[in-house]
Amino acid sequence: MATTFTPPPDALPLPEIPDNLTIPQFIFDTAQPTRPARPDSVPWLIEDHSGKRIGLDELRLRTTGLANALSLKWGIREDSVVCLFSPNHVDYPVCVWAAHTLGAIVTPANPSYTAPELLYQLATVKASILLVASESLSTALSAARQAGLSEDRIIVIEPSCGSRFHGRHETLSNLIDFGNEKPLNFIERRLNPGEAKTKIAFYSFSSGTTGTPKAVVIPHYSVITNIIQKAAHYRITDPAFREERHMNPGDVALAVLPFFHIYGLVVVLHYMIFSGCSLVVIPKFNFTEFLESVVKHKITRLFVVPPQIVLMCKHPATKNYDLTHVKLIVSGAAPMSGKLMQSLSKVCPNAVIGQGYGMTETCTTVCQISASQRMGAVGSAGQLVPGITARVVREDGTLCKEGERGELMITGPSIPLGYLNNPKATQETFVDGWVRTGDEVVIKDYEIYIVDRIKELIKVKGNQVSPADLEGHLLLHPAVADCCVVSLLDEYNGEAPMAYVVLREDAKRRLAGNQQAEETLQNVLKKHVADHKIAYKHLTGGVVFVDAIPKNPSGKILRRVLRDEARRKYTVKSRL
């Protein structure tokens, strides 16, 4: 039986991948055998609130204008790092492609970050300029000040709703106009054959399998490869699939998943545009507004995460909307149960429904529901896309056969270059060309089933939460002697972080069996985290005081033991 796994025998071979193009050159100018022709009437982007339609010519003009302004005003050039701190916006791809046109590197940041979290990212990548949504400006100013980034290197992205920014900072729209009025001050970056494999496009942050967030070094070739892999996987130019295939040019897709996340950045933004559909850009998820957008724009393709599906199946507002026009729903970032898939099929009866799986460390999609399936296999994350090879590895390093359980390891042409300035973490995760995913899987009949996580990460609404990050912060509190963060299961959020805490002796004496004082301290510790961490990292599972944290003889926390105990004893119920 096989110990190395590849796509099914009927899968298309991986087409040739251009290795001398930047991402904007590939998106704007390159015809590929796997790329369907976009009808002239089909816009690239649609602004959700206004319905404004944006096509190729306008995107190209705005990208060139911004690139020229960045070059003229700040000297942004080869290997400069541009931080993009914004929710989804129709100019988000313009910011990305303008930086890439100059040979610069983009680091997308979560727009909900606190100032310390943004500071960590700015400092790690040594960002030289910061593009920020106007509503996040105060956070950006605080972080930039501490990072040594001067205020005149902060550019404000005005909201899509049309309100104007009147502060002292440059605005994105003014810069684009300025750049288009001036003679070109730059020569577009052209790559030599093979150079796209090492020319860096993104520093995208991930917690990896453990520890604090790390910058994954993603070259242009990785993104271009994964786009072509998905196009081949879905056979989007194969005439035999024209009537029944999931994706057709002219379809309308929803961009509600955040572009700062690798799923939103590669799958939703770049692949949807490549595949010839129109992308409706939504800055922030609100469920009833989400439903209104799906109906108003006749969205046919939904890329979502399980919490959004829970709402679609259980929120009372859903019954007020006709979703029969939706023809493809792909869920990612966290597993979706078979029960949830069945419920969703009743809400969207004409939709193909399935899952996908990938990581920042694999530059996104590893497997996905196949082009021939109407409903993904229950519990399956899909089939491997062309060019991907997988292994399933036991704890002792030996290889599992089909149907056996072990850690998933992946190799293929989309694999990034490692972590920025972190050789130890790189060596642990990127092993001889293979990525250790930290996910425990079973592979059977070409389907990948994610059964558990070996890695310590907690997934909240599809977002990575590192227990070590929260533990390190809890230990800064004077009452805490030791701690361990685990997860409870949460129907809506997926998981909820919970902390086992060992108190210092003086704190124990102060409590001395006083239940009210104990509850007060638990709330203090939750607030200690909430004041410094983004909302999805908050201790929504609670704080429990214990006498000791169990560890093995070498001092490693027995985290899975505590996690299993917590899930037996405690529950969490999220409100929709």
Per-residue pLDDT of 214-236, as tens digits, reads 999 999 999 999 999 999 998 88
pLDDT at 104: 98
Percent of the chain with pLDDT over 70: 95
Residue limits of CATH 3.40.50.980 in the chain? 55-190
C-beta of residue 467 within 8 angstroms of C-beta of residue 559: yes
Out of 65-79, 146-160, 325-339, 509-523, which region has the weakest mean confidence (pLDDT)?
325-339
Is the pLDDT assigned to residue 371 strictly greater than 90?
no
Average confidence (pLDDT) over 166-174: 86
Intervals of CATH 3.30.300.30 along the chain: 458-569
- For the segment 191-219, the average pLDDT, to the nearest whole number, is 90
Residue found by looking up tokens 């970056």 in the block: 189
Mean pLDDT value across the chain? 91
**Averaged pLDDT for residues 258-266:** 94
Residue type, 202: F
pLDDT the model gives residue 215: 97
**458-500 pLDDT per residue, tens:** 888 878 888 888 888 898 899 998 889 999 988 788 899 999 9
Torsion sign across C-alpha atoms 466, 104, 279, 229: negative
Amino acid at 329: I
Assigned fold of 55-190: Rossmann fold (3.40.50)
C-alpha span between 88 and 261 (Å, rounded): 11
Does the structure show a pLDDT above 80 at 456?
Answer: no
- Does residue 245 register a pLDDT over 90? no
H-run or E-run covering 231:
helix 220-234
* pLDDT for position 166: 65
- Model confidence, pTM: 0.86
DSSP letter, residue 360: G
Q: How confident is the model at residue 87 (pLDDT cuts 50, 70, 90)?
A: very high
Residue 42 has pLDDT above 90, yes or no: yes
| pLDDT for 106 beyond 60 | yes
Instruction: Please tell me the distance from the alpha carbon of residue 486 to that of residue 568, in angstroms, as a whole number.
Output: 13
Tens of pLDDT along 2-26?
A: 689 999 998 889 999 999 999 999 9
Mean pLDDT of 387-394: 96
State the pLDDT at residue 390.
Answer: 97
What's the pLDDT at 56? 96
For residue 458, the model assigns a pLDDT of 87
| Whole-number pLDDT of residue 48 | 95
Q: Which fold has domain 458-569?
A: GMP Synthetase; Chain A, domain 3 (3.30.300)
Burial of 116 (0-12, 13-18, 19+ CB in 10 A): middle
Nearest C-alpha neighbor of 382 from the set 396, 395, 371, 393: 371
Segments of the chain assigned to CATH 3.40.50.12780: 4-20+203-453
Rg, the chain, Cα only? 24
Q: CA-to-CA distance for 63 and 68, rounded, in angstroms?
A: 9
pLDDT tops 90 at residue 73: yes
Q: What is the pLDDT confidence band of residue 75, given thresholds at 50, 70 and 90?
A: very high
Classified as helix, coil or strand, 483 is: strand
CA distance to 71, 73, 94, 184, per residue, from 178 (Å): 12, 10, 15, 11
Taking residues 257-274, report their average pLDDT: 95
Q: Which two tokens stand for residue 504?
A: 């210092």
Instruction: Give the per-residue pLDDT at 2.
Output: 67
Average pLDDT on 526-532 reads: 93
For residue 468, the model assigns a pLDDT of 80
For domain 4-20+203-453, which CATH number applies: 3.50.50.60, 3.40.50.12780, 3.40.50.2300, 3.40.50.720? 3.40.50.12780
Q: What is the pLDDT of residue 554?
A: 55
Check residue 452 and give its pLDDT.
79
Q: Of residues 247 and 138, which shows the higher confidence score? A: 138
Cβ-based neighbours of 303, under 8 Å, separated by 6 or more? 253, 254, 257, 263, 267, 268, 272, 330, 332
CA proximity to 59, closest of 18, 90, 19: 90
- The rounded distance, in Å, linking the Cα atoms of 494 and 560 is 17
Q: What angle do CA 551, 557, 562 make, to 5 degrees?
A: 95
Name the band, by pLDDT with cuts 50, 70 and 90, for residue 163: low
Confidence of residue 382 (pLDDT cuts 50, 70, 90): very high
Is 401 exposed, middle or buried (CB count within 10 Å of its CB: 0-12, 13-18, 19+)?
exposed
Which H or E run contains 545?
strand 542-545
